[in-house]
Amino acid sequence: MKKMYRTDIDGMRAFAVISVILFHLGLLPNGYLGVDIFFVISGYLITGIIYNEVKENRFSIFSFYERRIRRIIPLVLFTTVSALITGIIFMSPNDLNVLSQNVLASNFSMFNIFMYITSNDYWAVSNEYNPMMHMWSLGIEEQFYLLYPFIFLILKGNKQKFIFPLLIFLTFISLALFYYSNDVSAKFYLLQYRFFELSSGGIAAIYFSKWELNKKQVKKSKIILFSMIIIIFIIIQFNIIPDNDTKIIVITFLSIGVLTIGKYHFNDNKLYKLIFSNTIISSLGKISFSLYLWHQIVFAFARYSFNLHINSIESIFLSFIIIITLSVFTYFFVENPLRNKQFIETKNVYKVVSLSFIIIVSASFYIYKINGRVKDFPQLNITKSLVPRLYNNFDIVNNSPALYNDRIKVLDKPFKKNNNLKVLIIGNSFARDFANILLETKLKESIELSYFDPWKADITTELINRTYNADYIFYSSDIPTNKIMFDILISKFKIDIYKVWVVGLKNFGINNGVYYNSTKESFGCDTIRTSIRKDIWKSNQELRLIWNDRYIDLIENIIDSKKNVPVFTKDCKFISHDTRHLTIFGALFFSDILEERLKDIIKEKNL
């Protein structure tokens, strides 16, 4: 007997995706838990299908992969190429370069791993401008779909009795890893920590498929069902559970409860139908995959190109209209046609998918190779005709952005025995920025500069020698400098405190996209300002109090009363290409501001 289609599951999908969308608008504190509901639903449905096929001795791993390819890959390819094309039109080279990497990772079903390696922090504000940010969850699902069917392939036939206990065993391992691990990023992004959400849905599909409730039990189960729904709503709306791990585990098991009990009520109970089976929410559930893939792309480019913050009713409404329109289009013209075997044969699906994959991956790889320099970019003095020679990601020597900051690394060597003043700069990429500022001043003729990265080298030997020989020591990092730590280092290395200065923090907002897209002419560029991040401002103020006259404040001479800082120089060149690090124009900008202060610190010879 054919099972009745469960419209309530479509409703649950709609609830999950709407929660995520509202979260990405900053309107629902725990809306990200919608992803966890998605995981449970996916595990529940996929396991139910595969397990029934195994019981009926008709399971084929090739058929499973074919269904997943038809369901997922075409839409992923379509949305990622749409994001890439939009990025080419609107994005700055640095951001387009990052987007090309994200598209590559997404199309290889590895975006979650890519984010774990490169970003770690999903909650970072800068991710709001990343069109691919949400693809991490799809990466987890795709990896799950790749590995999961082998359990059923290996244990089919006479061994199928071991499927259920094996799933329980693997689920407990995953749950234990998730609960007891201290690696927050790994728990968020990697499959082994998320497996229990998908597999527990699968366990429920197998275990409760054998259950049948009588009328009296069905009637009583309504109370449990609606109680669970209310609790889910409360958890997603309010921070009643402070611990994130606990939230995820609770939402996982509540979702299982709604899935298993809801099958007795989706077709009869009016209130339950009103919540999850009404026409509107079921329709949104049907296009939920498209809604999920499109929403962050639309939000990111809206923020990037038109409005840093989507916070007005008009902008939110317009964004929703665009998302729904795109989702309806791709549902009817991409998802449905390519899922339909009668519309397109499997071999033709593979041809379309393979050709599209090769084109998109090749284009993304080329954009990455040329560092996002696909067109003239006057704000950074970039000319497209120079791309093959100057902007090659695999040619560090001729890669302009990498060269300017990384060129300082060649100065990571002991001081020579000469008469120049010895200047030691310690720190990470922020220290290299300061070195560039110093080298853009007239002081460069009378100093010998040595750079040391304490995170990359042996501090206890080489650093001692350089600090002893240095006349002046500057420390700079994006990590706020703790004076207690410095006092220990100074004591340990016997450093004279009077030759140590700490270089201040710097920040130029969250993203340059809006300024790039709204500023095509040079007139008045130096009047365009952006808000400095509040945490940077606070840390900068604290560091000024700690270090006093030994603090070189990069912010104080450029910030106004509204805590805004300039984006461009007078010549309409970006001070920072990524809001954190300096361009050559930014270094020149600060060298003019700081030259007199630096002359006071570094007493030039022959003056």
Quick check: 561 pLDDT over 70? yes
Greater confidence (566 vs 523) lies with 566
Banded model confidence at residue 133, pLDDT cuts 50, 70, 90? very high
In whole angstroms, give the CA distance from residue 384 to residue 113: 32
208-237: pLDDT as tens digits: 987 788 888 888 899 999 999 999 999 999
Residues in CB range of 316: below 8 A, 6 or more apart:
25, 310
Q: Which residue has the tokens 């289009």?
A: 329
d(CA 61, CA 56) in angstroms, rounded, equals: 14
Distance of alpha carbon 235 from alpha carbon 128, whole angstroms: 23
Q: Please, what is the average pLDDT of the chain?
A: 89
Give per-residue pLDDT as tens, 230-258: 999 999 999 999 999 999 999 999 999 99
Dump pLDDT digits (tens) for 329-382: 999 999 999 988 888 999 999 999 999 999 999 999 999 988 888 888 877 777
User: Residue 605's pLDDT band (boundaries 50, 70, 90)?
Assistant: very low
pLDDT at 390 over 60: no
Nearest-angstrom CA–CA distance, 259 and 267? 13
pTM: 0.89
**Mode of pairing for the β-strands spanning 551-552 and 500-503:** parallel
**Cα 504 from Cα 551, distance rounded (Å):** 7
**Could you tell me what percent of the chain has a pLDDT over 90?**
65
Average pLDDT over residues 509-538: 81
Other Cβ atoms within 10 Å of 158 Cβ, number: 7
Beta bridge pairs of residue 500: 473
- Say how far apart CA 192 and CA 173 lie, in whole Å: 9
> For residue 5, what pLDDT band results from cuts at 50, 70 and 90?
confident
Indicate whether 141 pLDDT > 60: yes
d(CA 514, CA 269): 49
The predicted pLDDT at position 369 comes to 87
Between 280 and 385, the higher pLDDT residue: 280
CB 376: neighbour CB atoms within 10 A? 14
Percent of the chain past pLDDT 70, that is, above it, reads: 90
| Domains identified in the chain and CATH numbers | 7-349 (no CATH), 408-601 (3.40.50)
Which of the pair, 392 or 49, is modelled with greater confidence? 49
Angstrom distance (rounded) from CA 547 to CA 553:
10
**CA-CA distance, 582 to 575, in Å (whole number)?**
6
Which pLDDT belongs to residue 78? 98
Compute the average pLDDT of residues 179-195: 95
Q: What b-and-e string marks burial along 264-298, b requiring 16 or more CB atoms within 10 Å of the CB?
A: bbbeebeebbebbbeeebbbbbbbbbbbbbbbbbb
Question: Dihedral, CA atoms, 375, 379, 383, 387, nearest 10 degrees?
Answer: -70
Per residue in 410-436, pLDDT tens? 999 999 888 889 999 998 899 999 999
Q: Which two tokens stand for residue 44?
A: 């529940």
Interval 198-207 mean pLDDT: 96
Q: What is the pLDDT of residue 499?
A: 87
Residue 607's pLDDT is what?
38
Low-confidence winner among 140-144, 267-271, 481-485 (lowest mean pLDDT): 481-485
- Closest by CA to 225, choosing from 179, 273, 181, 190, is 273
State pLDDT tens for residues 80-110: 999 999 999 999 888 999 999 999 999 999 9
pLDDT value of position 397: 39
For residue 215, the model assigns a pLDDT of 81
Beta carbons of 565 and 505 less than 8 angstroms apart: no
Distance CA 425, CA 450 (A): 6
Residue whose C-alpha is closest to residue 592's, from 401, 414, 440:
440
- Range of weakest confidence among 119-123, 313-317, 520-524, 571-575: 520-524
Q: How many CB atoms lie within 10 A of CB 606?
A: 5
Of 63-72, 224-233, 386-395, least confident by mean pLDDT is 386-395
Ramachandran quadrant class, 297 (left: phi over 0; alpha: psi -120 to 50; beta: rest): alpha
pLDDT of residue 121: 61
